[in-house]
Structure 1
Amino acid sequence: MNIHLDPSSELQLYKQLANQLIELIAKGKLKNGDTLPSVRSMASDLGINVSTVSKSYHELEEKGLIELKPKAKAIIIGGQKKELEETEVEKVENALKPIMAEAFARGLEKDQMTSLFHRILKQWK
């Protein structure tokens, strides 16, 4: 697993880790049933605090992408192709709206946004 955290980034370390794990799931590099390293092991490998990794794992659990079991490793449960419930689609839409609004406010045209969206989609399965 190739994870790089940037301590000088404005984005908190736990969020950087969570985002990178989500991308690995989206790209199929972490598959349903795979296990993540223990919190302690991941923290040691990345040279960060255990609570930072724990916070990332809990965020992924809240998003329904991993399952945490006491005294066991985290198991990937996301990345499976399935029909999303309407509430899940709404969550994604609500998360995308402010990002897209900011892009338009910065001057991106609709065709540039569409092109960017397709370029990003090509990165995933």
Structure 2
Amino acid sequence: MFLEIEFESEIPIYQQIKNQIIREIALGHLKLGQDLPSVRQLAADIGINFHTVNKVYNQLKQEGWVVIHRKSGVIVNPDLNAQKTTAYITTLEELLNITTAEAYLRGVTKEEFMALVAKNYEQYILKGEG
């Protein structure tokens, strides 16, 4: 698994890892049931503390993206059935609220913003058609 970590980013390392794993699942690069590196292996590969990877894996487990087995390790949840819940929509709205506000303050037009959202969403739809 290849992750690109920006150590100088304002986004915490654990969040970068979590975001990239979810994205890789959505793009189909990580398949349902696929093994992920062990906590120690991924930490060594990236050059970070294993507690950071452990935090990521536990968050992904809580959100249903992965399953953790004591003996076989971490795998992408083979029964992944992510649901659109009211709580998720609320979280999404909060995230979009701050993202939209920042875009507005930086001079991104509504049309530019909507085009970026459409472009990003489209990559996941196209993945399903390939």
Structure 1 length-normalised TM? 0.83
Corresponding residue pairs, total: 125
The equivalent residue for 1:58 is 58
- Give the AA of the match of 1:86: T
The equivalent residue for 2:104 is 104
Sequence identity of aligned pairs in percent? 34
Q: Over aligned residues, Cα RMSD in angstroms?
A: 2.3
- Give the AA of the match of 1:22: I
With over 3 angstroms needed to count, the CA separation of the structure-2 counterparts of 1:70 and 1:121, relative to structure 1, is same
Asked if structure 2 preserves the Cα contact closer than 8 Å seen for 1:25 and 1:79, the reply is: no
The equivalent residue for 2:9 is 9
Residue range with higher mean Cα deviation, 6-15 or 38-47: 6-15
The equivalent residue for 1:32 is 32
User: Aligned with 2:9: secondary structure?
Assistant: coil
CA distance in 2, matches of 1:18, 1:65: 10
2:81 maps to 1:77: no
Which has the larger helix fraction?
Answer: 2
CA distance in 2, matches of 1:37, 1:14: 15
Q: Extract unaligned runs of 5+ from structure 1.
A: none
The equivalent residue for 2:88 is 88
With over 3 angstroms needed to count, the CA separation of the structure-2 counterparts of 1:56 and 1:47, relative to structure 1, is same
Q: Extract unaligned runs of 5+ from structure 2.
A: none
